[in-house]
Amino acid sequence: MSNRDKKIMILNPAQREAITQSPARLEVIDAMSEIGPCSVAELARELGRSPQSLYYHLEIMVAVGLLRQTGSRKAGKRDEALYDMVSDHYRLAGSGDAAEDVRRTLLRFNSTVFKLTERNYRDAVTHGLPRRVDQRENIYLRRQRGRLSDENLARFYELLEEMGALLAAEVETKPTNRKPGRRRAASEPHRYALTIALIPLEDAPEVSEENGALHAASDAKPRTRRAAKKPG
Q: What is the pLDDT of residues 109-156, one digit of tens each?
A: 999 999 999 999 999 999 999 999 889 999 999 999 999 999 999 999
Q: Please report which helix (H) or strand (E) contains residue 165, including its range.
A: helix 150-169
**204 is a domain residue:** no
193: in domain: no
Residue 181 lies in a domain: no
Q: Is residue 31 part of a domain?
A: yes
Contact 68, 86 (CB under 8 A): yes
Which residues, including other chains, have CB under 8 Å from residue 56's CB and lie 6 or more apart? none
pLDDT surpassing 60 at residue 216 = no
- At 179 the pLDDT is 47
Residue 116 sits in a domain of what CATH number? 1.10.10.10
Number of domains in the chain: 1
Residue 188: inside a domain: no
| Residue 217 lies inside a defined structural domain of this protein | no
The residue segments making up the domain with residue 65 are 5-173
In 3D space, the residue among 65, 62, 41, 64 whose CA is nearest the CA of residue 53 turns out to be: 41
pLDDT reading at 24 higher than 50: yes
CA end-to-end span of the chain, whole Å?
95
DSSP 123-162: HHHHTT---EETTEES-----------HHHHHHHHHHHHH
* Environment class of 54 (CB within 10 Å of its CB; exposed 0-12, middle 13-18, buried 19+): buried
Q: Report if pTM > 0.85.
A: no
Residues 168-196: pLDDT tens digits?
887 655 544 444 444 555 567 888 999 99
In a domain, 180, yes or no: no
Q: With bands split at pLDDT 50, 70 and 90, how would you rate the model's confidence at 97?
A: confident
- Distance between CA atoms of residues 141 and 16, nearest Å: 28
